[in-house]
Amino acid sequence: MAEHVVRTEYTVRRARTSDVPKIQALIEPLVQERILLGKERVVFYEAVQEFRVAETPEGELIGCGALHVMWEDLGEVRTLAVSQKHLRAGVGGAILARLEEDALELGVTRLFCLTFEVPFFERHGFLPIGETVVDPEVYYELIRSRDEGVAEFLDLARVKPNTLGNTRMMKTIV
């Protein structure tokens, strides 16, 4: 039986602090399914400038995603999520495209993600990666970060429970 896809008009824009509760509500089902890691609300407020959201003309938030800069040329796509009823309608791809534009504007040319949604990211040019993706001197600098996402990128032992079953992927953008 064919899945019904809802076609909705939406815009992708920079997130605002008023979006934080909506972002949390949007990702909560994915946290419950252990697809995304849950975060405290304060973490979303601290990172609100990294987020883009997809919003309908009626103000419904139907998708979100964040770009976190990790190094001079390296960023991570984080918390990319689309509401269940808007899956397969291009919302995730539109948010990802906006995050890629943001990355290029900042000088970031490589994007990393840690995901269960391998087919989606493969369709958008991401490829699975091994363990060594940065030079040893950059690794030495990154290991000083307190950010859990950086620890996941580096595949550090202390975050292994968070990454089980996920695929580490990378894309070079130009």
pLDDT of residue 33 exceeding 80 = yes
Using the CB atoms, write b or e for 160-169: b if 16+ within 10 Å.
Answer: eeebeeebbb
Highest average pLDDT, of 6-20, 48-62, 147-161, comes from 48-62
Q: Quick one: pLDDT band at residue 1, thresholds 50, 70, 90?
A: very low
As a whole number, mean pLDDT of residues 20-32 equals 95
Rounded to the nearest 10°, the torsion over CA 109, 51, 156, 153 is -20
Could you tell me the domains of the chain? Answer: 11-172 (3.40.630.30)
Residues 68-86: tens digit of each pLDDT? 998 899 999 999 999 999 9
